[in-house]
Structures are given as C-alpha cells and as structure tokens.
Structure 1
C-alpha cells in the first residue's frame, strides 16, 4: 500500500510536470488526478496539508477549467464527484504536449 507521503510526492511530481508542459498522455493525466483524489482521504499531518495546499495553488495556476469532468459525465455521476469538492477533475493543463492530444 502506498503511503500518504508517497502520494504527496507523486502529486508534487505531477504539478512539476504540468508547470513545465505536461508531456504525458491524457490517460496518464487522469491517473495523476486520481493520485490527488487519494490525497483527499489520506491521513496527512498539518505540515503535509499545508504543502498540499501550496501544490494545489500551483496546479491551479497552470491549468484551466474544463467544461466537464475530465473523466466524463458517466464517471462523475458513478463516483459522486462534484465540481467543488473534486475541483481537480475539472482542470486541464494549459500547456499539454503532443502525446496528450494523440490519445
């Protein structure tokens, strides 16, 4: 099982990737957002929650709102996600690479 700290490190790498132009595929991006979702339920100490908030702010700066859940309406409804609580599922990278659009 992956630890909360490992999840936080994975999210930090994703934020770095998005800041520098997300070079991976759309499917990879969805998986990276699932890491962020897992952090919602992870038992993080206060300092880790502060770090997560800073990473989220950076992520929001280099993404833009999508018209719908990036996983699609069916998954949104099946999982019970909403635009406020699961805001990251409604964001797309400002500078995706070619592989992102090839999928």
Structure 2
C-alpha cells in the first residue's frame, strides 16, 4: 500500500489542535491562518506531479513554486504532535517522489535544511523556439554549474489551435 493513500484528507482535530494548527499557519503564511496544513501538502504534491512530468518553467519560477515546501518546513515543528504524526507519512512520500524526479546540485549535500532548494528537475520541458544552446535552456542559464547529463531537456513545438471553418 502506498503511504500517501493511508491518510485521510480530513482528520478530526480537537478544538485545541485546530487552534494550534491555525496559529502555526498564521505565523508562517501570508493567509493569516486561513490555509490548512493539508492544502500546503496538496500544493507540494501538485508541484511534484509537475516536476515528475517535466518542469516547463524557468529556474526562478521553480524557486517561487517551492514556497509551499518552505512553508511546510516552517510550520511543521509548530503543529501539534498528533497532526505531525498523522501527516508525516504523506509528507515523506511526496519528498521521496521529489528526490526521484530531481537531482542534487553538484557539491551540495542531499540532506539538511531546505534540501529541496538545491535540486534540479531531471526533465525540463521547453518550447523548441526557447532553446538557446546545448547546455541550459532559456530561464536556466543562470545555474552556477553546467547542465548535468542526467538533466534531460525535452523540446516541444508550439502548434496553435485554429478555429474550425466548418459551419454548423
């Protein structure tokens, strides 16, 4: 059984746990506690889905997209222990998927604080017109190291959809 499938989207929180979760989220997010811990996990999972399929945005955008994982790292120690225990398998599963879909930066440790920020997607999807040279595609050229051979750059051709000329 997949550990991610063993959780429930909604767990029954006591009033104290609910207040503690809201307070923790208010401290680390700009939503004033309106976000839910599971919605941060859902955002993280959705980003990992995108990285697994082939990330089609630039390096600065990935850095921005990682804000959900950064928020999780900040809020996690502030959550009630029971909430962490229930959600930890889900977070671990998403983290494992991200590690599999990315490679670490050269000469950076694979563990430690904010480890997810020092990784590059294994597959970068770029429009054929955006490819500039045989190394990094447009939006990734600021990387401080040459593109590792294990990072695949997949180009696709944009084909506009033309309206049908058929009359109904």
TM over 0.5: yes
User: Could you tell me the TM-score, scaled by structure 1's length?
Assistant: 0.75
Residue 64 of structure 1 aligns to a residue in which SS?
strand
Unmatched runs of 5 consecutive residues or more in structure 2: 1-30, 128-135, 140-168
In structure 2, the residue matched to 1:57 is 96
In structure 2, the residue matched to 1:22 is 55
Compared with structure 1, are the counterparts of its residues 31 and 98 closer, same or farther at alpha carbon in structure 2 (3 Å cutoff)?
Answer: same
Which structure is larger by alpha-carbon Rg, 1 or 2? Answer: 2
2: distance between equivalents of 1:68 and 1:101?
22
Root-mean-square deviation (CA), in Å?
2.2
Residue 102 of structure 1 aligns to a residue in which SS?
coil
Unmatched runs of 5 consecutive residues or more in structure 1: 70-82
* Residue 39 of structure 2 is aligned to residue 6 of structure 1: yes
Conservation of the 8 A alpha-carbon contact between 1:18 and 1:62: yes
Q: Which has the higher helix share?
A: 1
* Residue 130 of structure 2 is aligned to residue 94 of structure 1: no
1: distance between equivalents of 2:86 and 2:74?
16
